[in-house]
Chain A
Amino acid sequence: EVQLVESGGGLVQPGGSLRLSCAASGFTVSSNYMSWVRQAPGKGLEWVSVIYSGGSTYYADSVKGRFTISRDNSKNTLYLQMNSLRAEDTAVYYCARGGGWTTPRAFDYWGQGTLVTVSS
């Protein structure tokens, strides 16, 4: 059974940093495309980043230069390093399998999400 479990969210001050983790089971992270999607309170979904199975990474303009997506193959875990955090980064962050160029070209499995709050 495919499972994704996020952790690492919490309260952080503006300008601070946080690293989110997404532990996967039931499949191999390094063989798949993996993405982060966020949802601000009461708002819609916003794509954040994708890492391809080959290691290429892409980011939304809103986080480019501040966020870094990565993975640890030995731990079968996806990460999102978030630096220079702003109030507008406050959201539930979901990791999702997919977002790449093999079928299904979609996000087919999602974690339960972890809340990041940026506030002083």
Chain B
Amino acid sequence: QSALTQPASVSGSPGQSITISCTGTSSDVGGYNYVSWYQQHPGKAPKLMIYEVSNRPSGVSNRFSGSKSGNTASLTISGLQAEDEADYYCSSYTSSSRVFGGGTKLTVL
């Protein structure tokens, strides 16, 4: 049950686009189309942003999009806004467990 690998930090200016990667193995990210992404502001509970690789829950901005290639999933945020500054976590299923990435801190410059 090793954690998925994410960059520790990414940054971008308002209006720009950024991409956060999430690398696993064929036993998790590569083996299932069940990658999800969560946004967490300081002191708050995580919020689901993307599920099953590329689906957005109702109410989540279409500036957020997800994709996957092989053992690596990606979250792209376009048109960066100040409110997007937060920690982002990916998650995947395995056959008998669930695993999260280590988290990525997004800074909006």
Contacts and interface: CB of A to CB of B under 8 A. Distances in A.
A2 B91 CA distance: 22
Contacts of A110: 45-47
Given A44-B89, A44-B103, A45-B103, A108 B48 contact: yes
A106 interface: yes
16 contacts: A37-B100, A44-B102, A47-B97, A47-B99, A47-B100, A58-B96, A60-B97, A94-B46, A104-B48, A105-B32, A105-B34, A105-B52, A106-B51, A107-B46, A109-B48, A110-B45
B interface residue count range (under 10 / 10 to 19 / 20 to 34 / 35 or more): 20 to 34
Interface of B: 1, 3, 32, 34, 36, 38, 40, 45-48, 51-52, 55, 57, 89, 91, 93, 96-103
Given A50-B98, A104-B51, A104-B52, A61 B1 contact: yes
